[in-house]
Amino acid sequence: MEAAAIVLAAGAGTRMKSKKPKVAHEVLGKPLVRWVVDAAHEAGIGRIATVVGHERQQVEPLVEADTEVVVQPERRGTADAVAVCADALADFDGSLVVLSGDCPLITAATIRRLVDMREQADAAVVVLTMELENPYGYGRIVRDRVGAVERIVEQKDANSAEAAICECNSGFYCFDARALFEALSQVDDDNAQGEFYLTDVLAICRAAGRPVLALPTDDSSECLGVNSRAQLAEATKYAQRRINAAHLAAGVTMTDPDQVWIGPDVVIEQDVELLPQTFLMGSTSVGEDSVIGPNSRLTDTVVGRGCVIDETVAVEARIDDGASCGPRAYLRPAAHLCEGAKAGTHVEIKKSTVGKGSKVPHLSYIGDTTIGEDVNVGAGSITCNYDGKKKWPTVIGDGAFVGSDTMMVAPVSIGAGAIVGAGSCITKDVAPDALALTRPEQREIPGWAAKKRAQQAGK
């Protein structure tokens, strides 16, 4: 399919009441504009121009890697937004799809249908339309006596008969590129909003004798635009249900799908169980037979097979087959639990590897540490990795046993098979198979407590 696309992402979105441009707001962890760009790529469109304007410094980083960024200096309407792409697409001759960057639910299948319909009919334009019970605010599709598309009239310019039409413009089009840019030169701003409407191109192309067609959408939610926080929540709910339905059909169990949120780029194998209040975002992947939740949030995290992740927050972490986390564990970036490892209750791990079969079961912080295989780290143990300026490493060898309430002051190494007594503060390397103790000698004063109580009672 020889097609290109323009993504309109220059608007301010004032109804969002936000410092962020509306296309940078997220649905399930992904910016609105990325949903649209990714759908175009999935549809087979490799060449995409993204039009930016309002707060462009926030939008450009979201799209500059795989689209050509074009700046609209002044927001003078949708026709002007498309016209600024004329130079960027001057050498292109083919189907040109125009997409709204604030409509995250558009699918690749619908984009392909728009292109196929235009090319089969050699039409000047195909517009995606939708039937709405309450069409207020949308442009209306005006047809002639034989049912052909005649023009689109915007809400503010519609008379009473036109305002009663329920077939509406979605804001998605496929144009013949040359016909589009020729017609744009004839568009004026003689309308209620004083803007250059892209919708006027349809009437211009029809007057030139080129076919102008409509493609009714099968699902009007695909065309839902986000212009307010309420619409953002509505789009999120549609996306949640669509994504969850696909995973359920593929063999994933959800106790309550309404309480599971999965990002669009997450990969989940069959026979995974997702418990309520589970969030899987970014590039997270989960292997078969794993159980995630309840109350867990994983972002850009790889989970292997047969894992149990209970009340855990994990960000950019790796959890290998058979490992377990939680409840109330926190895996920070570059945390790696090897096969069968455990990070238990109230454990925080950062930039560290916990070796195969090793355990950090309770109330511990492990940072910048390499833990070998079959190590046990007792409750309340901490790697003291930060000296106020720099982070230092800790190494714990295979088979070592670290007693509860141990402070390991990095840089420090504990040898394989070594034992560290509970309550120790380790500041020097421990040799393999050695016992290390830094606990002070216990002192006892007989009867001291009774005398103290007697003194207090006598006051």
Catalytic residue among 25, 41, 336, 362: 362
Residue 418's nearest CA partner among 400, 396, 437, 404 is: 400
220 carries a ligand binding annotation: no
107 carries a ligand binding annotation: no
54 is catalytic: no
380 carries a ligand binding annotation: no
The 3-state secondary structure of the chain reads CCEEEEEEECCCCHHHCCCCCHHHCEECCEEHHHHHHHHHHHCCCCEEEEEECCCHHHHHHHHCCCCEEEECCCCCCHHHHHHCCCCCCCCCCCEEEEEECCCCCCCHHHHHHHHHHHHHHCCCEEEEEEECCCCCCCCEEEECCCCCEEEEECHHHCCHHHHCCCEEEEEEEEEEHHHHHHHHCCCCCCCCCCCCCCCHHHHHHHHCCCCEEEEECCCHHHHCCCCCHHHHHHHHHHHHHHHHHHHHHCCCEECCHHHEEECCCCEECCCCEECCCEEEECCCEECCCCEECCCEEEECCEECCCCEECCEEEECCEECCCCEECCCEEECCCCEECCCCEEEECCEEECCEECCCCEEEECCEEECEEECCCCEECCCCEEECECCCCECCEEECCCCEECCCCEEECCEEECCCCEECCCCEECCCECCCCEECCCCCCCCCCCHHHHHHHHHHHC
295 carries a ligand binding annotation: no
**What letter represents residue 16's amino acid?**
M
Strands 308-309 and 291-292: parallel
365 carries a ligand binding annotation: yes
78 carries a ligand binding annotation: yes
227 carries a ligand binding annotation: yes
169 carries a ligand binding annotation: yes
Instruction: Please list, in sequence order, all residues whose beta carbon lies within 8 angstroms of the beta carbon of residue 146, skipping any fewer than 6 positions away.
Output: none
139 carries a ligand binding annotation: yes
The CA-based angle 61-39-263, given to 5 degrees, is 75
410 carries a ligand binding annotation: no
385 carries a ligand binding annotation: yes
439 carries a ligand binding annotation: yes
451 carries a ligand binding annotation: no
455 carries a ligand binding annotation: no
8 carries a ligand binding annotation: yes
Task: Tell me if 123 sits within 8 A of 201, measured CB to CB.
Answer: no
The whole-angstrom separation of Cα 305 and Cα 338 is 12
**What letter represents residue 46's amino acid?**
G
429 alpha carbon, distance to own chain's centre = 43
Task: Tell me if 154 sits within 8 A of 138, measured CB to CB.
Answer: no
The whole-angstrom separation of Cα 341 and Cα 331 is 13
191 carries a ligand binding annotation: no
350 carries a ligand binding annotation: yes
> Which residue ranges make up the annotated binding site for acetyl-CoA?
379, 385-386, 404, 422, 439
Catalytic residues: 362
Indicate the annotated binding residues for Mg(2+).
102, 227
For the annotated binding site for UDP-N-acetyl-alpha-D-glucosamine, the residues are 8-11, 22, 72, 77-78, 100-102, 139, 154, 169, 227, 332, 350, 365, 376
Which amino acids are annotated as binding site, given as ranges? 8-11, 22, 72, 77-78, 100-102, 139, 154, 169, 227, 332, 350, 365, 376, 379, 385-386, 404, 422, 439
